Structure 1
Amino acid sequence: MFYQLQINACYTRSNKSEASEYTLNPIAIIQRGVIIYLLATRTDDPDATIRTFALHRFDRVEILESAAKTPDNFQLDTYLDEGSMGFSHPLFGELAERGKNTAVELKFTQKAGRSLTESKLSDDQIVTSNDDDTLTIKATVNLTSQLVWWLRGFGSGLLDAKPALLYQAVLDQPAMTNNE
């Protein structure tokens, strides 16, 4: 990828037992959670669909001498902001910068929020212990599908989230319109 050359790869998809061989145009390397992915197009796809390939599923890779082709006008930030790879959430599309660098306020039960006192959401995180045995966490984060998924994991331990749109996403409620 760094040489902007195509690769010939032997790759086993998660739903297959045997590897397939592809010639790929590498575009980017992306880490999502603990898995690292190659973003690429296949040369046998006339539509040049951008695909993700988990690096641990490659059996063999050979660097070719042919120049890799990136789709016209492709911008990685735009690709991710539009929801690819789960880095964006449809409810946050109308927000300024699609929810990047958003101040959030999360209210947890003491038990549920305890882990956030040890591992911060952001450098500017502030934790307040409330009189009603709850914790309030204030931080600046990117609003993403990953954040929503992670907050859902707290179940009833997450008592509230601001902005309201974030809490709607966690509760899996559609956004309210002016007519409702």
Structure 2
Amino acid sequence: MPNTPSSKTIYRHLQKLEEEGLVEMSQRGTASVWRKKAGASGMAAKAGAMMSFDEALALQTLRRFSSRQIPELVAESLSAMFEIAETRLQKTNSETERKYSRWASKVAVESGGFALHYPSIDRDMFATVSRSLFEERKLEIVYRPRHNADNDRAKIVLPYGLVEVGGLVYLVAGTEGKPDPTMYRMDRLTRAAARLEPFAYPASFSLDAYVRQQRRFDFMVEKEAVLKLKFVGGAGDHLLEAPMSKDQKSTRKEDALHVQGTVMLSQRLRWWLRSFGPNVEVLGPATLRAELAAEAAELATIYSA
């Protein structure tokens, strides 16, 4: 018959598990009550004693810089691992280990655009949608677009993918009987319920092509065109390192930078051009130049009043 461990041995084991973030203790009168910490199972249960400082640092860095909504929502399943990593970094026994714990405070990430407060997404709804996407099952949703904010009518969609664009998350989904998929902003879903019926994910659909080649998220996509721009004041210098197209060509003439390349005409392109104000001149195509010239004339009228 195996020897029964003493209460002191059990207590030492429990203390070690507490240090590793796997259990927690509370006092009830004179009694110490121990219980498994929420989420301390699976990988988390195995990781406590084995997690190295490199692994703990990697997890904490991932947690801190998962600023986009999809990574943040997906990372919820790793919350117990993140807590164990934090506990691991707090237990430093040398200067080298202390450098690990200070590393996260030495790195920052900042968006290059104007900071907006985007609407958050319900975690349970995201979990339902992503599970239906993973299992390729039909999804029943109630969607309230801006023009129909009181809609309560449910519809059945076929989830094809999730895309995050500029802080907003979209569900790309098909509808039976329609050839093209539709984009639904996740924060405008008021209900999402997974159905039992599976669907055949279309072999002809590629989310990567939908986003990167067809440029569906550039809004009101028109056609490809050769865009010719003239920048002044150093406004377009960043394009020398981050080209706007694969066939981009650039030349300097006096104090101006001339850039041209094949791009997809869209509303997003127009927003980008407007952000440079008087520091960019559209030389071509002629239709886009005329459009922006008319806008500039209208703005001049507004600001001269």
TM-score for both structures, normalised by structure 1: 0.59
- Separation in structure 2 between the aligned mates of residue 88 and residue 160 of structure 1, nearest angstrom: 20
CA distance in 2, matches of 1:156, 1:47: 44
Rounded Cα–Cα distance in structure 2 between residues aligned with 1:147 and 1:4: 34
* Greater radius of gyration (CA): 2
5+ residue gaps in structure 2? Answer: 1-132, 244-250, 292-305
8 A contact 2:282–2:289 mirrored in 1: no
* Identity, % of aligned positions: 19
Match of 2:289 among 147, 171, 180: 171
CA 142–160 in structure 1, closer or farther in 2 if over 3 Å, else same: closer
1:48-59 map, 5 Å: 48-59=179-190
Q: Partner residue of 1:143? A: 263
**Residue 166 of structure 2 is aligned to residue 28 of structure 1:** no
Which residue of the other structure, out of 174, 189, 193, is the alignment partner of 1:41?
Answer: 174
Q: 1:9: which partner in 2?
A: 141
2:224–2:262: 8 Å Cα contact kept in structure 1?
no
Q: Report the alpha carbon displacement of residue 25 of structure 1 after superposing the two structures with TM.
A: 0.5
Is the alpha carbon distance of 1:153 and 1:18 closer, same or farther for their aligned partners in structure 2, counting shifts above 3 Å? same
The separation in 2 between residues aligned to 1:130 and 1:156, in whole angstroms, is 18
Q: 1:61 aligns with which of 192, 215, 240?
A: 192
**Structure 2 vs 1, CA of residues 79 and 40 (structure 1 numbering), >3 Å: closer, same or farther?**
same
Once the two structures are superposed, residues 150-170 of structure 1 have per-residue CA deviations (whole angstroms, 9 ceiling, x without a partner) of 114434321356xx5xx5574
Distance 1:160 1:142 in 2: 14
Counterpart CA distance in 1 for 2:282 and 2:145 is 39
2: distance between equivalents of 1:27 and 1:15? 24
Structure-2 residue corresponding to 1:75: 206
Q: Is the CA contact 1:37–1:55 (under 8 Å) kept in the aligned structure 2?
A: yes
How far off its partner does 1:138 sit? 6.7
The one-letter amino acid of 2:289's match is L
Task: Give the drift of 1:73.
Answer: 1.9
DSSP 3-state at the match of 2:159: strand
Partner Cα separation in structure 1 for residue 230 and residue 201 of structure 2: 44
Would you tell me which structure has more helix in proportion to its own residues? 2
In structure 2, the CA distance between the partners of 1:121 and 1:87, relative to structure 1 (3 Å rule), is farther
Structure whose residues are more often strand by fraction: 1
Partner residue in 2 for 1:156: 278
User: Number of aligned pairs?
Assistant: 152
Change (3 A) 1:91 1:59: closer
Q: Please state how far the C-alpha of 1:62 moved relative to its aligned partner.
A: 1.9
Change (3 A) 1:60 1:154: same
In structure 2, what is the Cα distance between the partners aligned to 1:64 and 1:6?
5
Structure 1 residue 58 displacement after superposition: 0.8
- Whole-Å Cα distance in 2 between the matches of residues 9 and 82 of structure 1? 26
State the 1:108 CA deviation: 2.1
Q: How does 1:98-137 map to 2 (within 5 A)?
A: 106-110=229-233, 113=235, 121=242, 132=255, 134=256, 136=257
CA shift, 1:130, in A, is: 7.8
CA distance in 1, matches of 2:263, 2:171: 23
